[in-house]
Structure formats: structure tokens, C-alpha cells
Amino acid sequence: MIKRIVLFKLKDEYRNDAARAEFSERTRRDLSALETVRSVTVGTPADEATESTWDICIVLHFDNMDDVQKYIVAPAHRAYVDTYATPRLQARKASNFQI
């Protein structure tokens, strides 16, 4: 199984509780609908040190790296990234781990 962890730093105008909640809900809804995604967890900072660096953490589970690659290029994922997430982001970091 593959665990993909994605960290987002939002632009200043989206760095508030309401915007984080809306971003989290939209992310959970859009990414959960993708075929190769087994599960999605979306979190917000639990402490001030984390909040100074990142605003949203997404943890996705996949069966294998082939499924991750399919996810990355899936039209629905690209639409989420290109039209929703990217315009709100200052920075992004993604990593994959075998578990």
C-alpha cells in the first residue's frame, strides 16, 4: 500500500478558519471520488509551529504506485488541482511512502 502525504501552504487571503474548512471539505469530496484512491484524510494544523509552515495536510492511500500515477493524471484530479487548489496555494509538498 502507498501513503501519499501532501502539504499545502495557502495564500494569505485563504489562511483563516473558514477558508481552511471549505478547502478541506472540497478536497475530501473531490479526491474521495477518484477511482484509485482508497481513502482520504484531510487535516489542519494542531499547533502554532505547524500553522506557521503549513495549512492543510492530505493523506491518501493507494494500492500501489501505478494507482498513484493514474491519480496524478486523472482528469478529475487535474481539474481539482488546476482550477481549485493551485489558485489558492503559495506552496505544496508531496511525498509517497510504502506502508
Amino acid at site 98: Q
* Residue 77: DSSP 8-state: H
Q: Each residue of 22-59: pLDDT tens digit?
A: 999 999 999 999 999 999 999 999 999 998 999 999 99
Cα-Cα-Cα-Cα dihedral sign, residues 17, 86, 38, 34: positive
What's the predicted TM-score (pTM) here? Answer: 0.92
Q: How far apart are the first and last CA of the chain?
A: 5
Predicted local confidence at residue 77, as pLDDT: 97
What is the rounded CA–CA span in Å between residue 95 and residue 43?
A: 16
Per DSSP, the three-state class of 92 is: strand
Looking at the domain that runs over 2-94, which CATH code has it been given?
Answer: 3.30.70.100
Of 23, 42, 22, 18, residue with least CA distance to 32: 42
